[in-house]
Amino acid sequence: MYIETATDVCSVALSKGDQIVGLKEEAGGNNHAKNLLPFVDEVLKQAEVIMSEINGVAVSIGPGSYTGLRIGVSTAKGIAYTAGVPVIAVSTLESIAQGARQLWIQSSAENVQIVPMIDARRMEVFTTRFDFNMQPLEEISSKIVDESTFAELLSEQKVLFCGNGMPKCCELLSAFPNACFVEAPISAQNMLPAALRKWQNQEFENVAYFEPFYLKEYVAAKPVVKGLR
């Protein structure tokens, strides 16, 4: 089972081998706490599987929404503990890049580097970089995007930008001929290749202690009470 709640998309998928056999998702809302468990039930029904038959749970680990990640990871832990199965953590950015790569190869055989972006605030994004074979080329970081952020990279080769942080950067990046863009929906089904690799390598998380990868510490806004400062 695959759980994706790192952004405003709530997505659950189920696979048998390397084939997706169930998928339920909703975009554009922040109803993860309400929708996630019903989506799990729906996906199990689609595949005609009961909870005790699943072999593992893969969860999108971040970076992304603090609340969304907490909900996804907590649910994955609960399912794993109840079913007695391992948990696999998948980088949200790797999942986004995988989805963009799949769309890209449907229309082009050209080799590109892939830069997934998760919207942070203003012109900031959480990002990293992969080669076309999905090998990581740099550490995950937060970046403020301006005209110079990717200038050197784009002067050397084509780069495919994707993720929900990409649209706000389009105007700046489209000035470079080597900049390419794919609007690949964030989806739990895109976690499959990374999860299968980790399954084969027995790269499992400690169900009791592992936490989401926030990249930045969560800072709660100071409440404002009318009439007080």
Percent of the chain residues past pLDDT 70, beyond the cut: 94
β-pairing, 2-4 vs 113-119, is: unpaired
Domains 2-91+187-200 and 92-181 share a fold: yes
Do residues 67 and 32 make contact, with C-beta atoms less than 8 angstroms apart?
yes
Top-tier CATH class for 92-181: alpha beta
Output the CA angle 208-209-212, nearest 5 degrees: 115
Domain ranges for the chain: 2-91+187-200, 92-181
- 3-state SS, residue 226: coil
Q: Which residue has the higher pLDDT, 225 or 134?
A: 134
pLDDT band at 121 (very low <50, low <70, confident <90, very high): confident
- pLDDT digit string (tens) for 7-66? 999 999 999 999 999 999 999 777 899 999 999 999 999 999 999 999 999 999 999 999
28 phi-psi bin (left φ>0, alpha ψ -120 to 50, beta other):
left
Q: How many CA within 13 A on the CB side of residue 222?
A: 4
- pLDDT digit string (tens) for 175-195? 999 999 999 889 999 999 999
The CATH H-level (homologous superfamily) assignment of domain 2-91+187-200 is ATPase, nucleotide binding domain (3.30.420.40)
As given in the structure block, the two tokens for residue 66 are: 């603090």
Do residues 69 and 8 make contact, with C-beta atoms less than 8 angstroms apart?
no
Give the other-Cβ count within 10 Å of 154's Cβ.
20
**pLDDT of res. 29:** 72
Whether 221 has a pLDDT exceeding 60, the answer reads no
